[in-house]
Chains A and B, each alone.
Chain A
Amino acid sequence: GENVEQHPSTLSVQEGDSAVIKCTYSDSASNYFPWYKQELGKRPQLIIDIRSNVGEKKDQRIAVTLNKTAKHFSLHITETQPEDSAVYFCAAIPNYGGSQGNLIFGKGTKLSVKP
């Protein structure tokens, strides 16, 4: 079945710097890759996603890149702000198999942005 690895587990940056979180997946049939932001005590919130027919997607300060050949995708946050501090989860949705159609999450990255 699908397995998603996420690195790093913690990331501390200075306000204004960029942050990059990387994920790899094992199932080449996975075709949808969302990113969720979860602030302490709150729900996971979908912040950006990418499908397997696209290499890059950008939304203001957030971008996601996908390398299908290498089976990895990354979240890039530019000009970080203290309110970006949260746990970020990557996920993949396999297209077939036992986990078909279901989110398979990475273990999460705790991002701290220091003012």
Chain B
Amino acid sequence: DTEVTQTPKHLVMGMTNKKSLKCEQHMGHRAMYWYKQKAKKPPELMFVYSYEKLSINESVPSRFSPECPNSSLLNLHLHALQPEDSALYLCASSPRQGTEAFFGQGTRLTVV
């Protein structure tokens, strides 16, 4: 398996909802990332896990909460989001931090 798989592909949620985004890879990569991408902009780093430990939190609001249950899985828990949080959320993995990164197909999130 040479892919990064994200679910769901699309998500519409209200501002009071709680939802989770999931990401999975079976390439043995030890670094996993969450990115946020707005239209016509580059991906913006949110979180980095290296060897299942959170190594960077790029000052992301607490309404986004990452979790790395094991070396193959990465979750992003969402709570009390704002309409401006609507974006494409991309998961990526790399053999280790600082090496080539491969992206999942993303979750298109709309907050209403």
Contact = CB atoms under 8 A, between A and B. Distances in A.
Main secondary structure of the interface of B (DSSP, over half): loop
Interface in B1-47: 31, 33, 40-43, 45
A96 to B, nearest CB: 10
A49 B100 contact: yes
Contacts of A46: 100-102
Interface residues of A, number: 21
Contact of A105 (B40, B43, B98, B99): B43
Contacts, number: 48
Interface stretch (A12-20, A37-45, A54-62, A68-76): A37-45
B90 interface: yes
A95 to B, nearest CB: 8
List the 9 closest A-B pairs by CB distance, nearest first.
A105-B42, A101-B98, A101-B97, A43-B103, A43-B105, A44-B103, A89-B42, A93-B98, A108-B42
17 contacts: A32-B98, A32-B99, A34-B100, A43-B90, A44-B103, A87-B40, A100-B98, A101-B98, A102-B33, A102-B48, A102-B56, A103-B43, A103-B45, A107-B41, A108-B40, A108-B41, A108-B42
